[in-house]
Amino acid sequence: MARYIDEILQPGEKVLYSTNAHWMFYLPAIGAWIVAFALVILSRTTVNDNLTMLCLASAAVIAVVALYWTVRAWFHRLTTETDVTNRRVVHKTGFIRRRTFEMALDKVESVDVNQTIMGRLLNYGDVTILGVGEGRETISTIAEPLAFRNAITAR
């Protein structure tokens, strides 16, 4: 699948910085996979057949949910692009139902970064771009938000 930014670049425009949704979207899936794996191990350590079957059935249900969450997080990361070119900021989400945001760099008034404690530890956060006469746009949960802000503000 071709990148969205490659399809919309204007003559003379170059991509200066690209980022994506942070991998933390996988955390619910990772937790579910750990629980499913723990239930399989627990089923091997029990001597009661009913408890063994309950553990295996629970592990199977949780594994299906974990697989769904894994595919959903992967698809979200695959279909989300955030780029800074030498002329504009471009953010695209979605595949069938696409939402895009573009703002010329000379129209950017300020760029705010909001990071939680977990965001600081794992290096993700929300970036709000305030434009002159163009409103406000918040890009949620992107990787390396400070580097993204610096790519916008450095001229």
Beta-strand ranges (E) seen in the chain are: 15-19, 81-85, 88-93, 99-104, 108-114, 124-131, 135-143
pLDDT of res. 88: 92
* Half-sphere exposure in the Cβ direction for 50 (13 Å, CA): 0
Residues 6+ away with beta carbon under 8 Å from 14: 85, 86
Supply φ then ψ for residue 86, to 5 degrees.
-75, -5
Is pTM beyond 0.85 here? no
Report whether pLDDT(61) > 70: yes
pLDDT (tens digit per residue) in 88-117: 999 999 888 999 989 888 889 999 999 999
pLDDT (tens digit per residue) in 134-149: 688 999 999 999 999 9
